[in-house]
Amino acid sequence: MTDPIIITRNLSHIYQSGGFQKAALVNINLEVARGSCVAIIGVTGSGKTTLAQHFNGLLRPTAGTVIVDGINTSDKGTDLQTLRQRVGMLFQSPETQLFARTVFADVAFGPRRMRLERRAVRERVIAALEMVGLPHQEYAWRSPFTLSGGQMRRVALACVLAMQPTILVLDEPTTGLDAEAREEFYAYLRRIQQEQGVTVVLISHDMAEVATLAGWIYVLHEGHLVMQGTPHTIFSQGDQLRQWGLAEPPLSELLTLLRRHGLAISPEVLTLEEAFAVLRDGSKVPWVP
Amino acid sequence: MNRVPLIDIQHVTYAYPGQRGKHGAAQVVATLQDVSLAVGEGEYLAVLGHNGSGKSTLARHCNALLIPDRGRVLVAGMDTRVQANWRAIRDTVGMIFQNPDNQIIATVVEDDVAWSLAVRGLPAAQIRQRVAAAMAAVGITDLRHLAPHQLSGGQRQRLAIAGVLALRPRCIIADEATAQLDPLSRREIVALLHRLNQEYGLTIIQVTHLLEEAALAQRVVVLAQGQIVMAGTPASIFADRDQLRRLKLAIPEPIELAARLREAGLPLTPEALTVEAIAREIVR
């Protein structure tokens, strides 16, 4: 890969509490391309969040190295503050982290901590709110707690964006949002990725979401990186995914069933449009004896 | 439906205290507006709606967690406005929520299932028998000596269901009970609710914003802005995709595909709502 923004080499992480040890990550080697959107999938406890926490130095490797945007997080002298400004983390249910009296104060919190001058803070807040579709004239002076769930989540995203990160790590970003709020969130995310060239790392249980957003997928199972590839490659291996406790997106599952019934549908077919085009004229789909 | 519904919601209007406002009722938007709904004994009902549609508020009226501002709710004939009925109502209608951890109390699985029975002072032999039956019904017998934190999310939700089942309710309300689970655990819980309905005749009310989870229900009602806007069989509800989209409900891709193929002239029935059923009809 020409310009990876995240590199892990033989990354292992062992959680230790008292005499109890658990290997959360074992020998992970991966490279994330700058400006891409990648997804990490795996069941609860497979190590997804542990891996993501290495990307901004919340955790450091027990063994191996992690290099993020040129910063080696294992170095004792690593400037974690710079690293954390470059890597924005949106944790699960981020609206619970909102605390200020106004949307403005919440979004301004990070930039203020960076000791930017007032005008720069203001500009960043306005730009970040604009980016998530909450115009500041209308929303900046409202209490975040008067907003809907989807809007609160977008405020939380604006808080991260105001730090102008180069990498955005999202942990289950749309859990509990309804279809419309979800679609809006995706649209803003794509915009951020395209307009700002931000690299997005998505952790999600929702395979349809992963198939929609990510260009590359990493599959974790019991702390091991067991598979990686494009959504086409990953989701065409339903049986393998199920062994790791994962489900295909519902549409892939349907296509897998059809193939098993003997319909020769190419593994390239993944989206609704593609499936419709292939199946509309039933006679075009050859049967495999 | 039976002559007397198990849950009879009659013209219920409700606003949360904060919504009632200081300036009189004129500007208040109620969370529920004149909702009427009767649920028969043994029925499997899905209540669909987007965030803030009022579906959880409606569910909470069914076991007297909320009391109507106007109208009334009768549970097995008992009026939820009468405080003396609350205990009996909550024994009749059990509830499970999004986060099972909020209703898990004990440090060992079987103790947790026994908890509410012990609190009610049942004889030990009866507790043992009911706990064993409840654990068997949800398939956690093998896990009975573990600590709840050792269980997966889906297993903890099954534990929460066992805790409610031990009280021998006639109805279980699952309020977004799968929202925090991974896809396989989610299906497992939906299948469990379906089975409890089929095998034990338990009335199930499943509150969800996911269409695919409503596919197994006998009847679906859709809420929006505190009112029932659609009601019918899953097949009839899923057929009106434009309306569902307007109501901010995501149409699962397999169902969208089946509908478009049907419109394109393929012989698919509107009753094919699960991935398996759609696949069967396509290859037929």
Q: What are B204-246's pLDDT values in tens digits?
A: 999 998 888 999 999 999 999 999 999 999 999 999 999 998 9
pLDDT at position B18: 65
pLDDT at position A43: 85
Contact A203, A49 (CB under 8 A): yes
Cβ–Cβ pairs < 8 A, chains A and B: 96
pLDDT at residue B29 tops 80: no
Residue B279 touches chain A, beta carbons under 8 Å: yes
Mean pLDDT across chain B, nearest whole number? 90
Residue B233 touches chain A, beta carbons under 8 Å: no
pLDDT at residue A173 tops 50: yes
pLDDT-based confidence at residue B98 (cuts at 50, 70, 90) = confident
Tokens of A225: 């990186």
Please, what is the angle between helix B124-138 and helix B153-165, to 10°?
140
pLDDT-based confidence at residue A118 (cuts at 50, 70, 90) = very high
pLDDT at position A284: 56
pLDDT-based confidence at residue A286 (cuts at 50, 70, 90) = low
pLDDT tens profile A56-69: 899 999 999 999 99
Picking from A35-49, A174-188, A235-249, B133-147, which range would have the lowest pLDDT averaged per residue? A174-188
pLDDT at position A238: 84
pLDDT-based confidence at residue A146 (cuts at 50, 70, 90) = confident
- What is the Cα–Cα distance from A106 to B23, expressed in whole angstroms? 30
Average of per-residue pLDDT across A160-189 = 86
Distance from CA of B277 to the nearest CA of A (A): 10
pLDDT at residue B27 tops 50: no
pLDDT-based confidence at residue A44 (cuts at 50, 70, 90) = confident
Picking from A127-131, A176-180, A273-277, B148-152, which range would have the lowest pLDDT averaged per residue? A176-180
Which of A210 and A175 is assigned the larger pLDDT? A210
Average of per-residue pLDDT across B161-173 = 94
Which of A145 and A37 is assigned the larger pLDDT? A37
- Residue A225's DSSP bridge partners are A220
pLDDT at position A97: 85
pLDDT at residue B131 tops 60: yes
Distance from CA of A29 to the nearest CA of B (A): 26
Average of per-residue pLDDT across A122-141 = 91
pLDDT at position A15: 86
Residue B183 touches chain A, beta carbons under 8 Å: yes
Residue A243 touches chain B, beta carbons under 8 Å: no
pLDDT-based confidence at residue B85 (cuts at 50, 70, 90) = very high
* Most B-contacting residue of A221, A257, A285 (CB-CB within 10 A), to test interface: A257
pLDDT at residue A289 tops 60: no
Chain B residues near residue A209 by CB distance under 8 angstroms: none
pLDDT at position B19: 61
Mean pLDDT across chain A, nearest whole number? 88
Q: Say yes or no for a CB contact (<8 Å) between B51 and A247.
A: no
Q: Say yes or no for a CB contact (<8 Å) between B50 and A207.
A: no
> DSSP secondary structure string, chain A?
--SEEEEEEEEEEEEEETTEEEEEEEEEEEEEETT-EEEEE--TTSSHHHHHHHTTTSS--SEEEEEETTEETTSTT--HHHHHHHEEEE-SSGGGG--SSSHHHHHHHHHHHTT--HHHHHHHHHHHHHHTT--HHHHTTS-GGGS-HHHHHHHHHHHHHTT--SEEEEESTTTT--HHHHHHHHHHHHHHHHHH--EEEEE-S-HHHHHHH-SEEEEEETTEEEEEE-HHHHHT-HHHHHHTT----HHHHHHHHHHHTTB---TT--SHHHHHHHHHSGGGSPBP-
Picking from A10-24, A129-143, B217-231, which range would have the lowest pLDDT averaged per residue? A10-24
Distance from CA of A14 to the nearest CA of B (A): 19
Q: Which of B153, B181, B253 sits opposite A250 (nearest CB)?
A: B253
Residues recorded for chain B = 284
pLDDT at position A53: 92
Q: Are strands B32-39 and B7-14 parallel, antiparallel or unpaired?
A: antiparallel
Q: Say yes or no for a CB contact (<8 Å) between A178 and B282.
A: no
pLDDT at residue A103 tops 90: yes
- The single-letter code of the amino acid at A185 is F
Average of per-residue pLDDT across A112-134 = 91
Which of A209 and A21 is assigned the larger pLDDT? A209
Reference B183, options A101, A250, A169, A8; nearest CA is A250
* Most A-contacting residue of B16, B55, B182 (CB-CB within 10 A), to test interface: B182
pLDDT-based confidence at residue B25 (cuts at 50, 70, 90) = very low
ipTM rounded to 2 decimals: 0.80
Compare all CA atoms of chain B with the CA of A244 and give the residue at the minimum distance: B184
pLDDT-based confidence at residue B3 (cuts at 50, 70, 90) = low
